[in-house]
A and B are shown apart, each in its own frame.
Chain A
Amino acid sequence: MIEIAQLLVFGVVLGGIIALGAVGVSLLFGILRFAHFAHGDMMTLGAYIAFFFAATLGLPLYFAFPIAIVATIAIAVAIDQVLYRRLRRTAPVILLFSSFGMALILRSVVEMIFGPDTVVYDNAIRLPWTVAGLRIKPDHVVILAGTALLVAALHLFLRHTRTGKAMRAMADDPDLARVSGINTERVIVWTWVIGGGLAAAAGMFLALDTRLVPLMGWHILLPVFAAAILGGIGNPYGAILGGLAIGIATELSTLILPPVYKPAVAFLVIVAMLIWRPTGLFAGR
């Protein structure tokens, strides 16, 4: 019983990370109508930018994190304006493939600058706390608190700001949004701001929970897509729940599967959803 509770703790932490990535993917999928294959590597980028400011420049992590978020947002918007924007009017597969290529570009830049080996933010050993028989690392608390804060901020943005509502409208029906007079290009830029920022945060939390390695984002891309599909494309709240579900399912799977097959759980969820309910559990659009 305590083992299951422990796995649940791990699952919620992982789930929070996946959720942050999935929200971005879901909004981009819903508003821009394409699967952003570079999202995982955008998470990698955010994590490594933070690493640069923290480990290389010696800034404390709570400075490095916001800087990395801003930097990643800037890069995400730039990529869209320079590249994806020009490809928007072509066939959707071209955009899809461009993002696949972008994933490799981002990854190779990271690998070129930082090398292929594993690194960590700092080597301090932080002993886990024991709470009610459960082991909880201090990093876990940071991740959970950070995720909760970002989700709350996102909620406020989507529910109470003009741009946030316009974003939900565009995810719901881009054609009607255009007809209503919504400035679609501006909403698109804001979508990249949110997507890029949350991806950076997810990457940094992932690095905090595990470590930094150039392929880290690519390996979590599948769970992120699974969560977005599970929650319903275009539905950011569904994506959050989907992320938690995938994270918990992945950790609990170790009760019956060898741990090396954890990544397969996300894939199984994807297959199940695509066959059974492609619109997602919460039918976003």
Chain B
Amino acid sequence: MSLLRATGIHAGYGGADILRGAELEVAANEIAVIVGPNGAGKSTLMKAVFGLAAVREGSITFDGSAITNHAPDRLVRGGLSYVPQERNVFASLTVSENLDMGAFTRRDDTTADRERIFSIFPDLADKRRQPAGQLSGGQRQMVAIGRALMVRPRLLMLDEPTAGLSPKFVDQIFERIAAIRDEGVAVLMVEQNARRALHAADRGFVLVNGQTRFADTGDALLRNREVAEAFLGGAGP
């Protein structure tokens, strides 16, 4: 049963449409990744789901109900959470406060959740009073993901979570994402690191020129020669 479904999406930012018939589907408890060459519209697809890019045609449903072009704060209350690629932490707020902001829509006591975040990302535990802007790239990414988890989303959307990170952090992030999935949160990711992402994914979507060209399990896509030739850089996994 799919949690998130996007079909026939035509969307853009005001000029020509960047997405011309893109589709994806994410089931509960799975990691889905969107990969593709530069300019294919991967980030735009994610933004279209989250109401940050105007969807002109097509429909997006979450848990059965339509969410096309809904405002971000409404989606957050509905169980969707989003981490943008850049500028994804409040630099002048402390780590703790960043997490608080993630929980803004919640009225109940969030201390337990905050501690859980610190257990998922132990590196952050002793930095909770530090302004997020002073952390390293990898630590900032953790704060960003932690912020998005505070609202207890059912689907977590990450836009290139490992961009610009050192290999050590890339490993950590992928590890954490798997743990998040295991705890019951579905994950949708855009990833530049296609091979690595497809390896970790349950399902993958290859976006080319604004359209979904291939949709299959992560492993199947890795083995698919066309996909490999298209842009994985060579044949085979």
Contact = CB atoms under 8 A, between A and B. Distances in A.
Interface centre among B84, B87, B92, B97 (most CB of A within 10 A): B92
Given A166-B104, A179-B84, A182-B101, A173 B90 contact: yes
A165 B92 contact: no
B101 A180 contact: yes
9 contacts: A168-B90, A168-B92, A168-B97, A172-B90, A172-B92, A176-B89, A179-B50, A181-B102, A181-B104
Contact of A169 (B50, B84, B93): B93
Contacts, number: 63
Contact of A182 (B50, B97, B104): B104
Contacts of A235: 92
A37 to B, nearest CB: 26
Contacts of B202: none
Contacts of A169: 90, 93, 97, 101
A171 to B, nearest CB: 8
A180 B92 contact: no
Contact of A178 (B72, B97, B105): B72
Interface residues of A, number: 20
Which of A169, A176, A284 gathers most chain B CB within 10 Å? A176
Nearest to A182: B104
Interface string A161-191: 0100110110011011111111110000000
A173 B89 CA distance: 8
Contacts of B50: 179
B93 to A, nearest CB: 6
A162 B102 CA distance: 11
A179 B73 CA distance: 7
B82 interface: yes
Nearest to B78: A181
B77 A165 contact: no
Contacts of B151: 181
On chain B, which size bracket covers the interface? 20 to 34
Contacts of B84: 175-176, 179
A179 B82 contact: yes
A180 B91 contact: no
Given A172-B91, A180-B147, A181-B104, A165 B97 contact: yes
B49 to A, nearest CB: 12
Q: Chain A: interface secondary structure?
A: helix
Interface of B: 50, 52, 72-73, 76-77, 82, 84, 87-93, 97, 100-102, 104-105, 147-148, 151
B5 to A, nearest CB: 21
Q: Is the interface of B mostly helix, strand, loop or mixed?
A: loop
Given A180-B148, A181-B73, A183-B73, 9 more contacts: A165-B97, A172-B92, A176-B84, A178-B72, A180-B76, A180-B102, A180-B104, A184-B73, A284-B92
Given A172-B93, A173-B87, A179-B82, A165 B101 contact: yes
Interface of A: 162, 165-166, 168-169, 172-173, 175-184, 235, 284-285
Contacts of B102: 180-181
Contacts of B104: 162, 166, 180-183
Interface centre among B84, B101, B147 (most CB of A within 10 A): B101
A52 to B, nearest CB: 39
A125 B91 CA distance: 50
Given A165-B97, A166-B101, A169-B101, A181 B77 contact: yes
Contacts of A180: 76, 101-102, 104, 147-148
Given A177-B101, A182-B101, A285 B73 contact: no
Nearest to B82: A179
A184 B76 CA distance: 13
Nearest to B100: A165
Contacts of B52: 179
A6 to B, nearest CB: 37
Contacts of A179: 50, 52, 72, 82, 84
Nearest to A159: B97
A172 B77 CA distance: 22
Contacts of A175: 84, 87
A145 to B, nearest CB: 29
A173 B148 CA distance: 15
A281 to B, nearest CB: 15
